[in-house]
Structure 1
Amino acid sequence: MFASCCGKAKESFKAYQMSINYQASNNEKEVLSQLRTHFYDHKSDAVMKSCLLRLNSIKTETVFDLICRVLHVCEISDDQWMIYVWDGTDTPCAPCHKDLNAEGEDPLPLNLDIVPLSRKILHIFPCVGTVFRIVVRKYFEEIPQLRDGCWVKLCNLTCELHYGIWRGLLHGSSKVHILSDEDENVKSNMRDYQDRLASGARVQPLTCSPRHSYMTGTDFEKEPCVTLIKSLACHKVTHKFKSIVRVVAAYPWKGNHLRSPVHGHYRVRLTLEDSTVRIHAYIHGDDGVKFFGGHPEVEKLSTKMRRLLGIKENIGAEEAATSVRDPPWVCCCLKSYYLDKSDKWGSRRYRIFGTYILD
């Protein structure tokens, strides 16, 4: 037997309907008030409406459904899973606003993974399209049942940005539905992806409109571009490739700090990203001379770095480090190398070569 109330979040309590045999307990008001307040506070979860989106259309503060392929599932804590999903599109570019002056001691994160993914896992990830990370609480019984490669529909999903990297979240109101490969939405996603692969600009970021900025030139203009994740998953420790990327951070970044005060050699670490991953890439010695066009004056070097980082022209020197940046997409040549012969994979690094900034 129970009594029901008006359901509004206010101090008073007055039942509008009561069972004839109902016997009030001593704490009835407290219990019913807690239930009423709980409903009010969680009403948005109870009635949230979502729309079906692709990864290239996601937004923060938006509830949406996503049809995607599960690539990998792993445990990140006692009560959380991380699932890695993909739908063949690229997540939107996020503005950069981390303090450039702090890049030396507190660099921009390269990913959101608690434990670095192995090359074996990276090798199964598609080379085109963003692999989207989603945090899931362990009360979702469906998650351990998901097999790599299966298609799902995730309902009532939200997302957020961490240092410019997108991350999804499943909530208590979210649902997980396993789909057949014959589902019409799945077929539509795969057709769009095949069309992308068939096009000449398949590795061109979908958020790069209409093409990259042509701010840089390379010595290998006829070489095809690949995504950064393809390099990370490559079975060779050392190799060369060309990519379309954004420079989301640099250390150092000021024109008067780009060269060693002792020998005058260039030594810069750039944080590069495309729609698949982020990496650190270094510019050393003669590669720096080529990249920056010799040894120009500090003012010209500063201008080139500001253009690379997407700092607005009307921003003063003091504000530039913390301003919101929108780096252009640029093309560059990279090669991998290692620092320790006894630990080639663990000490692998990247450097930029054969690339120059156009005036």
Structure 2
Amino acid sequence: MEAAAAGERKRPREADEAPSAAAAAKEAQYVYLSIADALKVPGARVCLFAAVTEIGAAVRSRGTDFTLTLRIVDQSRPAGISVTFFADNTALLPCVKSCEDVISLHNVVITMHGEFFVSFNKKFSSFALFEGKVSKECSPYQTSMKYQSSSHDNELLTQMRTWLAYNPPGLKDNELELRSLKSDSTTTFDLVCKVLHVHENSGEWIFYVWDGTDTPAAEFQTMQDCSLDADAVESCPLHLEGAPLSREVLCTMPCVGTILRVFSKKYIKEVFHLQNNIYWARFCNITFKHEFGIWKGVLGPSSRVRLLSHEDGSVVNCLKMYDSRIANQVHRQPMASLPDVSNLSDVEYETAGYTTLMESLTHEQVTHKLKTIVRVVAAYPCRASDLRSLLPGSYCLRLTLEDPTARIHAYVHKDDGAKFFGGFLSAEGLIKKINKLLGIPEDVEEGAPLTRNPPWIWCCLKSYRLDKNDPWGSRRYRIFGTEIRG
């Protein structure tokens, strides 16, 4: 009887266990591994729950498929691992809203090809994307057709979001904005920016990038008397690329904020996507320097470009700051000129508001009057002997003016010369005022190298044409209504 009783107790227990075993078998494919543990079972199908840190571009594979690569991380592997997706069309590929969003991967395979990466097979793999920010919302914003959630997805999502809140992988000590660039050829930085235009010139790629802020005002190395270093002071190029941008391209550019040129001697596979003026990107491991007082970025062997969604947190922050900036007339002014512009100049065109040089260059009419804030970075002529020949009352001087958005040549015509310099001056008086404009300090040992830092000044400009048959090609600027104080 005890045996029978035992048998009777056993049968219900087996019946109870059968469904649990079936459920366990069904749930087995959704047992998530850490990335570190998944690397220990290459070739096996695994499930992962991780954060997206890099978004690649969707491109056509060598066959008929489209492919996309993401980089994902978790607590076990902060360095991350790449995931390669294949699909019949781009709509079936993951569309990640923002770096640091969370992805759930089912039945993917760890593969080794030079290094470990995760392979997504369109026949049996599946994915789901979730917002990475802490939220009560646990529903995915995109899933593949084969994806089925598991009972503990919400718990894992909460854990991943909490980890991201305290360990944001996108936050880097070496990430800069254009307003905080540092000139250091040995240190690399990351830059989040919008790519406005891409140009190829003799095998060198130039990316025109912008983040809504202004690059710092560069300093110039020169001699005490500009006549001793006239070549450097007279010949200051307007741009670093071989030829200026066409007006058609120029008119697509923002009018506030610096447009930085980033140079690369190697081909970047994301070039095709970046040529359309719609993508934001993270330029990783980039160096910065300035030539002729113009900042430039340089991509080296270790540099990479990563596409960013418009909903990426870094992009959203850039746009919010820019919107706040252009809403305030003062904040639109050059960041390096704040809080006060030099009192070196007086202007008559008081009724006009502040205008950037880019706003004038892209103005719909050839003729345009404006009041702006600029630095005088070069003057021609600058030799004392040449300046004496301009006296008396026959000034014809070309100044190179810059603000964070552009650089132009502007002329002081002989009719405006006396007004500009505050009267008919001696050659010595003229040189003294030009040195002030160029930022050349006084009382420095003769012949000693020094750093000049031109001051920011208010200036009135007007544009005109030389040839009515070629109005834009013959457009010039002249200075008017501006006086340089003594």
Bigger radius of gyration, 1 or 2?
2
Correspondence for 1:55 among 143, 154, 178: 178
CA distance in 2: counterparts of 1:204 and 1:176, whole angstroms: 30
Correspondence for 2:350 = 221
Q: What pairs up with 1:122-271 in 2 under 5 angstroms?
A: 122-146=250-274, 147-253=276-382, 257-258=386-387, 260=389, 264-271=393-400
Larger relative contact order, structure 1 or 2 (CA cutoff 8 Å, min sep 6): 1
State yes or no: 1:111 paired with 2:236: no
Q: Which has more strand, going by share of residues? A: 2
Q: Please report how far the alpha carbon of residue 196 of structure 1 lies from its aligned counterpart in structure 2 after TM superposition.
A: 0.8
Deviations 1:63-82 (A, max 9, x none): 1111100100111122x211
1:296 to 1:53, Cα distance in 2 relative to 1, 3 A: same
Three-state SS of the structure 1 residue aligned to 2:343 is coil
CA distance in 1: counterparts of 2:202 and 2:460, whole angstroms: 38
CA distance in 1: counterparts of 2:390 and 2:267, whole angstroms: 57
1:137 to 1:143, Cα distance in 2 relative to 1, 3 A: farther
Deviations 1:117-141 (A, max 9, x none): 0111111111100001011234321
1:222 to 1:176, Cα distance in 2 relative to 1, 3 A: same
Three-state SS of the structure 1 residue aligned to 2:452 is coil
Three-state SS of the structure 1 residue aligned to 2:220 is coil
Three-state SS of the structure 2 residue aligned to 1:242 is strand
Match of 1:111, as an amino acid?
H
Correspondence for 2:219 = 95
Three-state SS of the structure 2 residue aligned to 1:243 is strand
RMSD across aligned positions (CA): 2.2
Q: What pairs up with 1:14-29 in 2 under 5 angstroms?
A: none
Q: Please report how far the alpha carbon of residue 184 of structure 1 lies from its aligned counterpart in structure 2 after TM superposition.
A: 1.0
Question: Contact (CA 8 Å) 2:233, 2:382: kept in 1 or not?
Answer: no
Question: Contact (CA 8 Å) 1:266, 1:285: kept in 2 or not?
Answer: yes
Deviations 1:252-308 (A, max 9, x none): 235664464587411111010100111111101221111111113333222211111
1:224 to 1:319, Cα distance in 2 relative to 1, 3 A: farther
Match of 2:189, as an amino acid?
F
State yes or no: 1:303 paired with 2:432: yes
Match of 2:437, as an amino acid?
L
Question: Contact (CA 8 Å) 1:281, 1:351: kept in 2 or not?
Answer: yes
In percent, how many aligned pairs have the same letter? Answer: 49
191-200 vs 97-106, greater mean Cα deviation: 97-106
Deviations 1:312-357 (A, max 9, x none): 11136x548x642111000100111122222222221111001001
Q: Please report how far the alpha carbon of residue 94 of structure 1 lies from its aligned counterpart in structure 2 after TM superposition.
A: 0.7
State yes or no: 1:336 paired with 2:463: yes
Correspondence for 1:83 = 207
CA distance in 1: counterparts of 2:294 and 2:239, whole angstroms: 7
For structure 2, the residue ranges without an aligned partner over 5 or more in a row are: 1-171
Correspondence for 1:349 = 476
Three-state SS of the structure 1 residue aligned to 2:333 is coil
1:137 to 1:287, Cα distance in 2 relative to 1, 3 A: same
Correspondence for 1:37 = none
CA distance in 1: counterparts of 2:338 and 2:315, whole angstroms: 26
- TM-score normalised per structure 2: 0.60
Match of 1:288, as an amino acid?
G
Deviations 1:178-211 (A, max 9, x none): 1111111111111111111112313311112322
Match of 1:82, as an amino acid?
I
Correspondence for 2:451 among 320, 324, 340: 324
Correspondence for 1:68 = 193
Question: Contact (CA 8 Å) 2:234, 2:380: kept in 1 or not?
Answer: no
1:178 to 1:54, Cα distance in 2 relative to 1, 3 A: same
Corresponding pairs, count: 308
Three-state SS of the structure 1 residue aligned to 2:400 is strand
Three-state SS of the structure 2 residue aligned to 1:229 is helix
Q: Please report how far the alpha carbon of residue 311 of structure 1 lies from its aligned counterpart in structure 2 after TM superposition.
A: 0.7
Three-state SS of the structure 2 residue aligned to 1:324 is strand
For structure 1, the residue ranges without an aligned partner over 5 or more in a row are: 1-48
Question: Contact (CA 8 Å) 1:254, 1:305: kept in 2 or not?
Answer: no
